[in-house]
Amino acid sequence: MALSRRTFSALAGSAALGFALGGSGGPGASSAYAAHSVPTGPAPAPPRVDGEHHTIGYDQYSLLVDGRRLVVWSGEMHPFRLPSPSLWRDVLQKMRAHGYNAVSIYVAWNYHSPAPGQYDFSGIRDLDLFLRMAAETGLYVILRPGPYINAEVDGGGFPGWLTATKGTARTADPAYLAHVDEWLTQVNRIARRHLFTQGKGTILLYQIENEYDAHVHEATGRDYMSHLYKKVRADGIDVPLFHNDKGRNGHWTPGSFDTGGERGGWLYGFDGYPSPTQTPPDWGHFGPGGLTGGATASPRTPGFVPEFGGGWFDPWGGAWFDGKGYAESRRTRDSAYERRFYLTNLANGLTLHNVYMTFGGTSWGWLPAPVVYTSYDYGAAIDEGRNVTEKIAPMHTLGHLLQRVPDFARLDRAAEVKAPGLKVYHLTNPDTGTHVYVARNDGSEQVTTDLPTDAGRLPITVPARDARMLTTGLPLGDRTLKHCTAQPMLCMTVGRQDIAAFTGRYGDMADLVLKCPEEPVVTRLDAEAAWAYDSNELHVNAPLGVGGLTRVMVEKGESDTPLLLLFANDATSVRIFPYDTPSGALLVYGPALLRHAELRGSEVHLTGDITGTTSIEVWGPRGIASLVWNGRTVPTRVTMSGSLMTTGMLPAAPEVQLPALGGWRVRTENPEAGPNFDDSSWKVADRTSSYSVTPVPKGRPVLFADDYGFHYGDVWYRGTFTDASGIEEVSLAYSTGTQGLLMAWLDGEPLGTHRMPVPDKDTTARKGSWDATAAFPVRERLRTPGRHVLSVLVRRMQRDMDGKSLDTHKAARGLTAALFKGASPEVTWRIQGEAAPDPVRGPMNNGGLYGEREGWHLPGFPDRDWEAVTFPRAERRQGVTWYRTTFRLSVPADIDASVGLTLQDDPYRAYRAQIFLNGWNMGQYINNVGPQHTFVLPNGILRTRGTNTLALAVLSEFTTLSGPGNVQLTLLGRATGTDRSGRHVFTCTRRRSFHVEQRSPDRMT
């Protein structure tokens, strides 16, 4: 039977002494593993800043927080992929509302460090602000600051300047570690102010390194991991540490490296990204066991997947998803995928579960690694425009189940169960006697069969490539469930009644049987339900989703506490929101999102979002009498289920009108191509050695952009020489990331354009560095004596992520050599890249285009003398052309409108465009490569009530006509919510008088 909170506390009190510092104590602290006697009981309260000290221990089943079992149901998001702090809270609140109790975040070194010894944690980089928001939202934080993070970001997160320094990265090289220590000092100075153990915040776990598998069996690898561990501890981080193994390899298990004598502070975790075409793997209880079996590599720590696939990334050209983009990722890794794979994980005892990604966001500016384009939507449950997709349903129902039903925190493998056409997992809770069955259909046809259970054979239907979870003997407050063919979603006490919710697919029949030694009083509150009492059992059935939420009240009998049964399908269940307040628990049904709830006397105050027409229903403590929704009191009535329900329907979010884009002005640039351009302020490329892994051509200067301090975006070269009389051909060797490009001019005359190939799925989709030599014939009329200038523009894209720890992030970017056929002139090279980093947007916002250096992308730039043009455009030239316009939005303050920019043109036309919104580089469009055509414009950068400046920097090849073609604003989503009019200003100070303001309600400057 279930344990009451009082009984649980008494049993857990003595056990807690055995793991008071389990996993997080100082040197010599004892392991928490011995605390196996901790019984099943209520989960810890949602985390918050309370000033109290907390313990974090563990055993083989789960984490133990203050002596209570915690199943971690976490989602990954990256603040650096949403450069608008006002929106961080929005995503965090959506995660909490939809069942997550933790958020996992990378902290990207390159995002915070523009130069050696320089670190920026202000504005959009305010890690302290994000951690405060997470605590205010009630989410634990899994912090992952690297120093290497991969994350499909430039250089795997290593700053650009690190490529030009001494030292071998991801080893115990002292030169490298000196930089690492400086970085971790900066991060940990912030992190230790937010440790859950200290009651200062909600950081629960801390990761060092990332998928590190190159030097596992070498001293330099072990010493490196040991150094990171000791450094983090020395900086005052006292929560459990971990590393994410790059698959099921058994690397970096407890005891595999020196932790300075500390025991019990290290967790083993591994990452997994199984394809939807695979059979879900067993990485725990039901697996093969051993070091390569997943969780069995560390049998004394809980099963932990720091990254489990919530989608997948897509390369330039869209090879992974046949050019269909992230919509195809979301289709192939849909709700059924989540049920099959995530339920398999839970059955295998993986109780620390992080979904990568839950919100992918945008790899804006020059942030993306070579293997991805701008969008990092990932096919995640929350899309790039912050819209909750259908994929949220399994996350929502499983997350709330794991938080509200403690039986799932301690499950053992039970007797084998077989059912025709299904793979069945059977587990039991040793304390409560609850049985859990996961029935998985890996076939292409629906399976209907009988499932043998301890409560008898149950009829079950599982659709093709889907799974279902059933329970028997589950405590529902004071009563006990015999069995139910629908999945439990939650069980909680609200006011003076217990509420249990069950979910499944639309139209499925939920057959529920309660053990009832005495006949109860049953009230069918919705017409779809039916019930019968027979032989000490109450039978209830309801078709899921038909008519919306179905309610059945069970009263009296063997318990004086009423039990309200709720039946919902997926679409209905995601509108059910439990919420804990200091005055008691609430359960809310109806809105698209519940952000916050509180009780003020007899008033229930709720804030949230509405998309479609809906009512709102609230169950809460006895005495609630009125409902305030988003600051307005709404008429209500008391229902027979004891809830407070609106008497009318709340209206759907109104339409949002977006303006057509017009008033474009144009100006061509690249004066650097002309022979008389003044390049005297450019750096002379005269270095003879480099720390790059790319060899320097013998007897020739280093031309690598990073060696001259230019780390992001485009770079220009001008080579001056005397006498071109005999030159027949110029060969330019260059190295870039995926889809790099080179343009060359001789004395202002175009020689041609060369670009790297589009990656393919089988061989090059993961390729990080591309090398090529562009050979251009020199026309006869250019072969003259005298001074000549060879001008070269290289769009070098980004750096390799160095996943194999070979220093490949140091591969050259830009020109590597220049050769001439027919002559050997002495060339003096000068190089120019990006200007000083933008103090607000950071170093990754801008490259070295002339217009960027001159501020053509910024609001307020005087463009009245530019030529007026209309779209679509069709011109043929080699080089850079800028287009600018402004537009005004007037979105009401209580409407959250997600807006994108969509570009379309003849796919044959070879050109690309950098998109600048109010000075922010929101990504790169490549017309003839794709697959991305719509770019999200985040609110805060986008002024939804004000004037916006849009600039396009178009690089066009001479081989085809170039656009832009059709350019328009696109509404990606809308919701009615609270007034989001809070404003503050980030001012971009530059050497020019014009500037940009970013407005965000969550940080005051």
Active-site residues, by number, are 211, 307
Indicate the DSSP class of residue 673: G
Residue reference for tokens 């009512």: 615
Q: Which of 234, 233, 253 is nearest to 242 (CA)?
A: 253
Please give the Cα distance from 209 to 200 (Å, whole number).
25
Q: Which of 952, 951, 954, 915 is nearest to 936 (CA)?
A: 915
**Residue 189, SS3?**
helix
Q: Provide CB contacts within 8 A for 478, sequence distance 6+.
A: 498, 558, 559, 561, 563
Please report, as a single letter, which amino acid is at residue 78: H
**Ranges assigned E (strand) in 802-875:** 814-821, 828-832, 867-869
Please give the Cα distance from 87 to 129 (Å, whole number).
12
Please give the Cα distance from 325 to 347 (Å, whole number).
32
Is 157:109 a contact under the CB 8 Å cutoff? yes
Please give the Cα distance from 968 to 971 (Å, whole number).
10
Pairing mode, strands 550-555 and 521-524:
antiparallel
Is 266:251 a contact under the CB 8 Å cutoff? no
Cβ atoms within 10 Å, residue 341: 24
Tokens of 645: 């329900």
Is 368:80 a contact under the CB 8 Å cutoff? no
**Residue 763, SS3?**
coil
Tokens of 557: 């009998």
Q: Provide CB contacts within 8 A for 630, sequence distance 6+.
A: 606, 607, 608, 894, 976, 977, 978
Please give the Cα distance from 328 to 377 (Å, whole number).
11
Cβ atoms within 10 Å, residue 275: 11
Please give the Cα distance from 649 to 798 (Å, whole number).
51
Instruction: Give the distance from CA 949 to its chain's centroid.
Output: 28
Please give the Cα distance from 343 to 364 (Å, whole number).
34
Q: Provide CB contacts within 8 A for 234, sequence distance 6+.
A: none
**Ranges assigned E (strand) in 872-933:** 879-890, 895-904, 911-917, 920-926
Please give the Cα distance from 326 to 310 (Å, whole number).
12
288-323: b (≥16 Cβ within 10 Å) or e: eeeebbbbbbbebbbbbbbbbbbbbbbbbbbbbbee
Indicate the DSSP class of residue 842: B
Cβ atoms within 10 Å, residue 998: 26
187-221: b (≥16 Cβ within 10 Å) or e: bbebbbebbbbbebbbbbbbbbbbbbebbbeeeeb
Please give the Cα distance from 30 to 259 (Å, whole number).
13
Q: Which of 624, 630, 621 is nearest to 592 (CA)?
A: 630
Q: Give how far Cα 603 sits from Cα of 606, 624, 633, 634, Å.
A: 10, 6, 9, 11
